[in-house]
Amino acid sequence: MASESASNQSNSGHGKQQTGYACMTIGSLVHSSKLSSSHGFTVSDKGGMNTWIVDYGATDHTTHSSQMFNTYTLCPSNRKVAVANGSLTTIAGVGDIHISPSFCLKNVLHVPRLFTNLVSIQKLTQDMNCSVTFYPSYFFENSKEQKNSLALTVRMPEIQLGAHTVRTHGVQLLRLHMHNWLILALIAVIEGVLNIIEPFHRFVGEDMMTDLKYPLKDNTIPFWAIPFVAVLLPLIIINIYYFIRRDVYDLHHATLGLLYSVLVTGVITDAIKDCVGRPRPDFFWRCFPDGKGVFDNVTKNVLCTGNKLVVKEGHKSFPSGHTSWSFAGLGFLALYMSGKVRAFDRKGHAAKLCIVFLPYLVAALVGVSLVDDYWHHWEDVFGGAIIGTVVATFFYLQFFPPPYDSDGWGPYAYFQVLADSQNGRQATNNNASCLTIQSLELESVYVESGHRRQLSRTNTHDASPVEE
């Protein structure tokens, strides 16, 4: 049996005023042509059978009219429903009612003797897997007391929200973040300049060559593979997630954060390289490819006879650029994926941690290979790993909540769009402007002493909602 509160209503179709707005007349729901989202609505109150009442205590949706059903099934004559005064009344049937072309109430009870229509908050939240927020957003011009009515917002679960694609919102998002992309391009230019300029040539005496005579070898992991591992691989995974979820905010911010992580790491690494000028472990063979050392008679400093570009590269040992790039790109990817799979949801799914550790393991192996190839000292690799990890973490947290956060699966901009849509207004900040409202917004009609007040269109936007 279903238990209905505030169910005995007058033939006018309006609910009785109750403490805490337990029962509110919200008017008929009409789909608004101004709202293109799948859950955008407004309300026009015309009275009569199309008036719906929001009820906190009702366990089921009910209607007194059989004409509203889109699907309808007769109920056994012995099935009854309890009303507010405790009496039982017969349920004639049950079915679905499409209040608008894109919003449907499921399993609505047809109870002819109630003479009203009830929207059960309990039923609504269960069926739609959503939360319902009440906003005191409207007041009435002809009411001397200026009492507030309620606006109702239904927040859909994450899988049904934020379906903004590159086609629909990509251009707007790029325009909003144009300054970020321009600065990113400038950082790329700076990185190029740092690779061109000559590094500091620190003093290297003959007695120091003992630790710098390791064999000159090619890299086990070639230079071209580092951008693929640190940039292209994360971008591929980010794009795969976009095609699954179709969230342009996640795609844009993850891409922007990744590129910033890698390029800023590159600038920091190469700036330190050029200033420190530490020789590589194979510096002797770079400087003297014939194996015959030449030193200044006065200063005892090396007088390199090898190829200038090879010698120049020999002064760029600390910190390791390959390692810092790898930890920047793969570290960002590890944080990104841990948020998506909710690796830190405290449910004991230890296997999820493999997704976090795997990118770091690959980055660590890149660093180890550089030590094995005698291109770097272990301190160079350790320093590069620290730089890449720290920079990646900072830029990830600029766009995403921490992976252990309950909202760690999505970017900040996504949740800002949801917050703005719940308030029933177009977002105006940098991360969420020019977006379609995605909420179920209901204007309401306040009923006092059995007669109806006129609804004012003045919106007060109260910032203190009550959420169910």
Cα–Cα distance for residue pair 82/258, rounded to 1 Å: 59
DSSP annotation of 113? G
Between strands 52-55 and 118-120, the pairing is parallel
Cα–Cα distance for residue pair 284/216, rounded to 1 Å: 9
Check 322, 377, 451, 461 and give the catalytic one.
Answer: 322
8 A C-beta contact, residue 209 and residue 286: no
Cα–Cα distance for residue pair 261/401, rounded to 1 Å: 16
SS3 120: strand
Cα–Cα distance for residue pair 425/221, rounded to 1 Å: 52
Between strands 62-63 and 103-110, the pairing is parallel
Q: Rounded to the nearest 5°, which phi and psi values hold at 463?
A: -95, 15
What are the C-alpha distances in Å from 235 to residues 221, 324, 360? 20, 18, 16
Surface-to-core class of residue 198, CB atoms within 10 Å of its CB (0-12 exposed, 13-18 middle, 19+ buried): exposed
Q: Rounded to the nearest 5°, which phi and psi values hold at 189?
A: -65, -45
Surface-to-core class of residue 386, CB atoms within 10 Å of its CB (0-12 exposed, 13-18 middle, 19+ buried): middle
Looking at 315-352, list the stretches that DSSP marks H as alpha helix, in order from N- to C-terminal side: 321-340
H/E stretch holding 235 reads: helix 233-245
Check 376, 377, 451, 461 and give the catalytic one.
Answer: 376
In the structure encoding, which two tokens stand for residue 125, read together? 């939240």
Closest CA to 280 of 336, 324, 329, 319: 319
Q: Is 322 a catalytic residue?
A: yes
8 A C-beta contact, residue 258 and residue 234: yes
Number of Cβ within 10 Å of residue 88's Cβ equals: 11
Distance of CA 196 to the CA centre of its chain: 38
Residue 31: strand pairing partners: 41
Q: Is 14 a catalytic residue?
A: no
In the structure encoding, which two tokens stand for residue 316, read together? 């760029």
Catalytic residues, by residue number, are 322, 376
